[in-house]
Structure 1
Amino acid sequence: MKQIKSANSPITYFVSRTGQVEWILFIHAAFVNHNMFKAQFAYFENKYNMLAVDIIGHGQSTDTQKGDTIDKMANWIFDILKAENIEKVHIVGVSLGAVLAQDFANRYPCAVSSLACFGGYDINHFDTKLKNENSARQKLMMLKALFSVTWFAKANRKISAYTSQAQNDFFAMNVLFPKKSFRFLATLNRMVNKYKTGQRNYPLLIGCGKFDIPMELEAIKAWKSSEPDCTVVLFENAGHCVNMDVPREFNKTMEEFWKGASQ
């Protein structure tokens, strides 16, 4: 994929333009980078045009300025679409990427062909109890990182992935995450319960792995209850980052979903 530094933002993005009609946008989880989707890049390279970003503070998107915050990601991504002359995209977000994917869909619904969120929660109807539990868990993980990023990465890989290969791959990316980038996660709450979910003019797919944490399974159940028309998938032998744990099953699921969305 071609690496490009976005103009007027700290974001670096990656493009594979192979002359296909449809575009896929991949948004990665916290503490890693766009390479968490390497199995998807390889599988879909001759089937779709692909776009991926490194979230602010992650990967190659660390050249920041005062005032750059994660809640600006939707605007920066939209600017990237305009720069690349992309009218609409199928969006895939995992964990933190699922939060950013929803925020983009809230702000720019006309640019969304479909939305797929894994290991995430409904940011428009996030229960206060779950929100507090999630916040407490994040603070504990960040405390570990202040002492040692390696210690943090070792603990985080077991939460973020289920299979040993996925855990090792996650760790290799996580250990490169700079401590200073934790500050960018502080504005995540600005996206939560800010918008009301309207009528979606695109299909929604949500899911996680059956070995994800109980809070995530509860969040998916609550989301399905509030949006009964969405499609839910629970992956066997997978944890939080399902695309890394079971890439073959994940790729087949996405391919079927996108074909249905295009009909």
Structure 2
Amino acid sequence: MLGSVSFWIFCRFAISYHFTADHRLFEKQTEYFENKQNVFVWDAPSHALSRPFTNNYSLSDMAEWLYEILAKEEIYNPIIIGQSMGGYLAQMYMELYPDKIKGFISIDSAPLQKSYMTAMEIWLLERAEPLYKIYPWKALLRVGSRGCAETDYGQNLMRKMMMSYNPDHKEYARLAGFGYRMLAEAIKADLAYHISCPALLICGEKDKAGSAKSYNKKWHQREGLPLKWIKNAGHNSNADQPDEVNRLIEKFISKVERESVLG
């Protein structure tokens, strides 16, 4: 599945990334929450303004860097909202810092536990880069934008973010391949990846990225995590249907804050 990387921190919560995209993926969220919360945006390593960056880090490295950034900004016990790869990153963060998170929202992501994946799926993740390299750039732009979003706004936004790598689309291929290998490495580590806080799963009804819909159904069934389907939305459901996703985010935050006050 295509993805992007970005973090936006609303006072007590962070929103993280979808590989190969950047902070612009969340512009409808930052616009909505900017007068309600403090907003902090991070382009993760190898993305947008955080380029150039050598692709030799792990998902646990990124979780540690996130922790250090939050500590420096004096943001403690955040609600982390992770889109696509950002959902995996949030789970790694919980693995390393289970008591340093207040809530978790997964947007079009999936569980990081090895038990959800087949050996073939992991094998394919480790070998994605050659496919990206041989794909004609114009065709990849078309497939990438249409595969991630259903609406004109969502597709145009994804295309614009992908064009950040033009004319060197080999950089895009290297980044995508690296991201999938990094994900495979974290899955093969076979850690518990226990959800240590209140959580909410959000997924577009038309998400065509890999097996995201199937994973979310299984995640909901096995862990009992609430799951909300977004109509007329693809993999980037927060871009396709921002009003509905913003409503769910706001409702979740209010619930977590209310329960925190009640103890």
TM-score w.r.t. length of structure 2 = 0.83
TM alignment of 1:77-96, pairs within 5 A: 77-96=66-85
Q: 1:125 to 1:47 in 2, by over 3 A?
A: farther
Unpaired segments of 5 or more residues in structure 1? Answer: 1-11
**How many angstroms apart in 2 are the aligned matches of 1:147 and 1:134?**
21
Query: Paired residue for 2:261?
Result: none
Distance in 2 (alpha carbons) for counterparts of 1:194 and 1:204: 21
The one-letter amino acid of 1:95's match is: S
Which amino acid in structure 2 is aligned with residue 165 of structure 1?
Answer: Y
**Superposed displacement of residue 144, structure 1:** 3.6
Structure 1 residues 162, 14: closer, same or farther in 2, change over 3 A? closer
| Closer, same or farther: CA 208–122 of 1 in aligned 2, 3 Å | same
Q: Which residue is 2:168 aligned to?
A: none
1:14-33 correspondence to structure 2 within 5 Å: 22-33=11-22
Counterpart Cα distance in 2 of 1:66 and 1:156: 22
Give the aligned residue type for 1:154: R
Q: Find out whether 1:159 has 2:147 as its counterpart.
A: yes
Deviation, 1:85, is: 1.3
- Within the candidate set 35, 45, 49, 1:56 is matched to 45
1:105-138 CA distances to partner (integer Å, 9 max, x unpaired)?
2211222111001111110244233x63476378
Tell me which stretches of 4 or more aligned residues in structure 1 moved more than 6 Å.
12-17
Query: Partner of 1:39 in structure 2?
Result: 28
Which residue number in structure 2 is paired with residue 243 of structure 1? Answer: 238
Shift of 1:24: 2.2
Deviation at 1:68? 3.5
Q: Compared with structure 1, are the counterparts of its residues 236 and 42 closer, same or farther at alpha carbon in structure 2 (3 Å cutoff)? A: same
Structure with higher strand content: 1
Q: In structure 2, what is the Cα distance between the partners aligned to 1:117 and 1:142?
A: 29
Aligned residues of 1:26 and 1:93 also touching (Cα < 8 A): yes
Work out the CA distance in 2 between the residues paired with 1:15 and 1:119.
17
Structure 1 residues 184 and 139: alpha-carbon distance in aligned structure 2, compared to 1, 3 A threshold: closer
Residue type of the alignment partner of 1:219: Y
| Two-structure CA RMSD over aligned residues (Å) | 2.6
- What is the correspondence of 1:203-242 to structure 2 with a 5 Å cutoff? 203-213=198-208, 215-228=211-224, 230-242=225-237
C-alpha separation between the residues in 1 aligned to 2:129 and 2:206? 19
Per the alignment, do residues 184 and 66 of structure 1 end up closer, same or farther by CA in structure 2, a change over 3 Å counting?
closer
Among 93, 109, 113, the alignment partner of 1:120 is: 109
In the other structure, the counterpart of 1:174 is: 162
Aligned 8 A contact 2:109 2:212 in 1:
yes
**Contact 1:24/1:51 (<8 A) preserved:** no
- What do residues 33-72 of structure 1 show as CA deviations (whole Å, max 9, x unaligned)? 0110001001001212223322221111223247434441
Contact 2:46–2:54 (Cα < 8 Å) also in 1: no
CA distance in 1, matches of 2:183, 2:230: 27
Equivalent residue, structure 2, for 1:4: none
Change in 2 beyond 3 A, CA 1:224/1:16: closer
CA distance in 2, matches of 1:174, 1:209: 21
Match of 1:109 in 2: 98
Give me the whole-angstrom Cα distance separating, in 2, the residues matched to 1:160 and 1:190.
Answer: 24
TM-score (norm 1): 0.83
**Deviation larger for 34-43 or 145-154:** 145-154
How far apart, CA to CA, are the structure 1 residues paired with 2:52 and 2:84? 23
Whether the 8 Å CA contact 1:119–1:240 is kept in 2: the answer is yes
C-alpha spacing 1:93/1:14, structure 2 compared with 1 (3 Å): closer
Moved more, 190-199 or 89-98: 190-199
Asked whether the equivalents of residues 18 and 83 of structure 2 are also in contact (C-alpha less than 8 Å), the reply is yes
